[in-house]
Structure 1
Amino acid sequence: MRNLGRFSLIALLALPAWAGSLDDPLATAELQPLKPSPRLLARVGEAPCATTLPDTPLTAVDAVDLMLCNHPQTREVWAAARAQAAQVGVARAGWLPTLSGSAGTTRFDYQNSAYTRDSAAITLSWLLYDFGQRSASVESAQQLLGAAAATQDVTVQTLFLNALQAYYAAQATRAAVASALQAERSAQESFQAAAARYQVGVATPADRLQAQTALSQATLNRIKAEGEARNALGTLANALGFAAQQRIVLADLPAVPATAAFQKEVDGLIAEAQARRPDLRAAEAQLKAAEASVELARAQGRPTISLGAGPTWQESAGVTQQGGSIGLTLNVPIFSGFETTYRVRSAAAQAEVRAAQRDRLRSQVALDVWKAYQSLTTATQSLQTTADLVASAEQSERVALGRYKAGVGTILDVLSAQAALASARLQRIQAQLDWNVYRATLAQSVGALDYTLLQAAAEGRP
């Protein structure tokens, strides 16, 4: 079998020149989307992925980076996109010839004589024409890759929003603790005033007891608020990929813009969402892939023309034979038990399913934008109203306490004013939380949730 070396050389020479990069000869790596984090448009390219908490207090940008770097879903969708990119390579490979080699040896014993037959062959096969089957296969694979990339964008934006929700919730509970501490100090001041008036005989025991009850309730509210804040920090740590007991120090939130209105009209936002939403792009790509599958099913029932060629070698009982063959093969499917008919019918029905899903999602996109826009509008209006509410409640509390200390007011007036102030502060905190979350939700519903949103907030822009 000394001629096998010659055949191996022929095989190596037959390999195309582009096969120098054997790990990815069809360059499918260029087709796959970038790694999810941190890659959003407002960030710097391929920055190192964050895996540890920063030394400085945690900002919203830090929270998003950690979520996208550490969450298993980002690895999952990126792996899925890379797998689909490889499927494009599989489809493209159908345009190229295949080269295969075979070798064998057989021992014969016949009437007290024995001999060995050795054989080897190299076969080149090339599908020359298939009436659109390979084109449809490549188109379907490319569209599914587009759907995988869009699905990755959907996941990134969902995790982005989840990170912001967890971060802003932790910020809100921290603000609630500060509000509870203020309420407790106010209640302490009221109790001291009531106790002082009681000692000089100008207040009743009921005043002192009511003030003591209000102070105890304020202390209890503060204790509960601190517990909720610890739970929120644990939830945030868990969402970012750390243990719940991981210590996290939050950075101060930037001030909410005084005129925090979203500048675009809702009709324009809906139109923008239908052009930008990655889940809608994914649905559109899946529809196109299904349409390509219909053409693929049709083409599978059509004739094919193939080229076959290759040398052969055989040695038997000391006699060596060498030869070769080349030829064209026309394969015409005549009857396949109506398999092609039902393949086409199934593929066409699947395309209708994808079209219906795309249309349903387009309608849902409009509803998502509408709800998010109205929620943000309400939160924006609530910001100013709660600011006025807190200001008036603070003034009312000061007046009521001053009147009581001067002996012209009642302890009930003081306690009522302090309760109203505590409620106003909590409503202000909720309004700020709602504004931050709904602003991010609207951006996500439009398909525009990225780091520019956080940069605008840091700069005091709506």
Structure 2
Amino acid sequence: MAPPAPDHPWSPTVDATGALTAAPASSAAAPSQGYVLPPNPAGATLPATTVDSQRVYQLADLIDLAESTNPETRIAWNEARNAALTAGIARSAYLPRISATALGARQQQNGRNSGLGASVAQNNSFSGGVAVLSLEWLLFDFGQRHALVNAADEGAVIANIAFTGAHQRLIHAVSVAFYAYSAASARTDTAAVSLKDAQDIQIAAESRKKHGIGTVIEVAQARQLTAQAELAKVDAEGDKSNAYFALLSAIGVSPLTHIQIADVSKRPLPSNLDQPIDHVLADALERRPDVLAAIAQQKAADAGVRAAQADFLPKFFVSASGTHANGNVDLSAVPAVGDQAPTVNLSNHHWGATVIVGVTIPLYNGGVRNAALAQARNRADSAAEALDRVKLDAAQEVAMADSKLHTSLAAVSATRVLLDASQVTYDAALAAFRRGVGSSTDMLVAERQLLEARNAAVDAHSAALSAAATLALVCGSLGQAPN
């Protein structure tokens, strides 16, 4: 079933549905296509998503679409449901175990008896049936089941926290991809404006030459600037397309989906950011999913220690069975079958019932319980240390995100001043060039600087919005579309 050699391709068998199977390929199979697998029609379909192609989607709309379609949210939901079922299984230890077993038996006896020179053969056959109803119930175990239920409950809490964290990360991923697309779209617009400026400069250079005040070099430089602007526009459109596909990937829809995205280039930036960092950090540590999950993990580890300690103590139980045997089968006991405990004291042709109340006391098992308790304590110590590590990492993330947001907002203010100054410089340089009193070098430099200022302003605005979303994420407060 494995490939024939490390340097020979695998020739899989394809069933009627087109799926690949591990069965050895028959001699009549199609010849190998090298290291290219045969197609499976089941892999050609993408998950279907209903999108209104006429609607302009805001960020909140895209997040809502992502939460309902992205597979990551479904996976996290199933994990939370499984953890809840695990907690339910742990609670079932408080209830009795009841099982019923019906057996049919046939016995064959073959032998020979001899005496006084005579020999007699005996061949006997017996058949019959046994019905058993048994009950097992652990009455008291000094808190071991309670500790195990606590640990399972904390596991459900951890899974639910992970579910919430998955949604927070999804909201953040869609938000950042949305802002990146907005920046790429704005860069496309600035590239188009820059191309228009370059064309105006080319027209002015050709006009200067026509009136005898320009040179061939100026015209060539202007045409070069136009060509560079056209190339920059093509690159910007390519970046916009890549950002669009990245946004669709973050949402969790097919890259063939067509969605109209709203323009947020004029969206206001966050304000009221004067709260002290220590207050921000304290609030973050109280609600961050990883910190809360680490606290729940520590509680689960402590419950594991209590369960291991209770394993040294006695357990009180009750066991009962009701039986009925018929036929002539010589059967003294029914062995354990599945959940059915062994049943003894059977009586042919009679109903039987047994009730046992007892206590089991662990005395010696080769140090297994001691080792299990030591392991549980080690896990509890590790959980406590892990909580401290998570808090330190969280504090660093919050401090860095807060600093980055303030830096991004400062960059926005600086780029606005730069853009205004660059626009004034470009307008003056172009006016002077048209009147024949300015140099082409100053005008070309001013146009390049204006394009850089426009792109810097676009990037700073997008970076500030992304930094605000990131700060909300690391503070554990990103529960909806960021505002």
- When residues 385 and 259 of structure 1 are mapped into structure 2, their CA distance, relative to the original with a 3 A threshold, is farther
The sequence identity of aligned pairs, in percent, is 30
2:214 aligns to what? 203
- Which among 409, 417, 433 is matched to residue 462 of structure 2? 433
On the 8 A contact 1:54/1:62 being kept in 2, the answer is no
- Look up the match of 2:229: 218
Tell me the CA shift for residue 309 of structure 1.
2.2
Q: Deviations over 1:117-166 (max 9, x none)?
A: 33222112110011111011100100111111111222221122111121
Please tell me the residue identity of whatever aligns with 1:100.
Answer: S
Partner of 1:372: 401
Residue 342 of structure 1 aligns with which residue? 371
Matched, 1:159 2:170: yes
Q: Are the counterparts in 1 of residues 59 and 481 from structure 2 also a CA contact under 8 Å?
A: no
| Deviation of the 1:196 alpha carbon | 0.4
The answer as to whether partners of 2:184 and 2:240 remain within 8 angstroms in 1 is yes
- 1:140 aligned residue (139, 148, 151): 151
Query: Number of residue pairs matched?
Result: 406
Q: Do structure 1's residue 383 and structure 2's residue 412 form an aligned pair?
A: yes
1:71 — aligned with what?
A: 70
CA separation of 1:167/1:321 partners in 2, compared to 1, >3 Å: closer, same or farther? same
* Secondary structure of 1:313 counterpart: strand
Q: CA deviation at 1:303?
A: 1.2
- Structure-2 change in CA distance of 1:234 and 1:257 (3 Å): closer
Q: 1:125 to 1:191 in 2, by over 3 A?
A: same
The match for 2:51 is 53
**1:9-67, CA deviations, whole angstroms, 9 ceiling, x for partnerless residues?**
xxxxxxxxxxxxxxxxxxxxxxxxxxxxxxxxxxxxxxxxx933333123212322233
Q: Secondary structure at the match of 2:260?
A: coil
Q: Give the aligned residue type for 1:103.
A: A
**Rounded Cα–Cα distance in structure 2 between residues aligned with 1:426 and 1:380:** 16
Larger helix percent? 1
Matched letter for residue 448 of structure 1 = S
The structure whose Rg is larger is 2
1:90 aligns with 2:89: yes
| 1:259/1:334 CA distance change after superposition, 3 Å | closer
SS at match of 1:94: helix
Query: Mean alpha-carbon deviation: is it higher for 427-436 or for 444-453?
Result: 444-453
| 2:197 maps to 1:186 | yes
- In the alignment, which residue of structure 1 is the partner of 2:294? 283
Shift of 1:220: 1.2
Letter in 2 for 1:439: A
The aligned counterpart of 1:323 is 352
* Equivalent position to 1:175, from 148, 168, 186: 186
Structure 2 unmatched ranges of 5 or more: 1-47, 110-121, 330-347
Structure 1 Cα separation of the partners of residues 270 and 284 of structure 2: 24
Conserved? CA contact 1:261–1:380, under 8 Å: no
Q: Tell whether 2:100 aligns with 1:101.
A: yes
- For the pair 1:394 / 2:423, whether they are aligned, the reply is yes
Mapped partners of 2:475, 2:191: distance in 1: 37
Could you tell me which amino acid in structure 2 is paired with residue 379 of structure 1?
S
Query: Which amino acid is 2:418 matched to?
Result: L
Deviations 1:81-134 (A, max 9, x none): 111111101110000011111222333456465543332221121100111110
- Please report how far the alpha carbon of residue 352 of structure 1 lies from its aligned counterpart in structure 2 after TM superposition: 1.3
Partners of 1:343 and 1:219 lie apart in 2 by 71
Contact 2:175 2:466 in 1 (8 A): yes
CA contact (8 A) 2:129 2:327 kept: yes
Could you tell me how far 1:70 is from its partner in structure 2? 2.9
The match for 2:475 is 446
* Alpha-carbon distance between aligned partners in 2 of 1:190 and 1:112, rounded to the nearest angstrom: 117
Pairwise CA RMSD: 2.0
The answer to whether the 8 A contact 2:77-2:163 is kept is: yes
Counterpart pick for 1:304 among 304, 315, 335? 315
Aligned match of 2:142: 131
Amino acid at match of 2:64: D
Q: Distance in 2 between matches of 1:200 and 1:109?
A: 125
Task: Give the Cα–Cα distance (whole angstroms) in 2 for the partners of residues 230 and 116 of structure 1.
Answer: 80
Where does residue 404 of structure 1 map in the other structure?
433
Q: Name the CA shift for 1:323/1:253 in 2 (closer, same or farther; >3 Å).
A: same
C-alpha spacing 1:387/1:346, structure 2 compared with 1 (3 Å): same
Corresponding residue to 1:237 among 248, 251, 260: 248
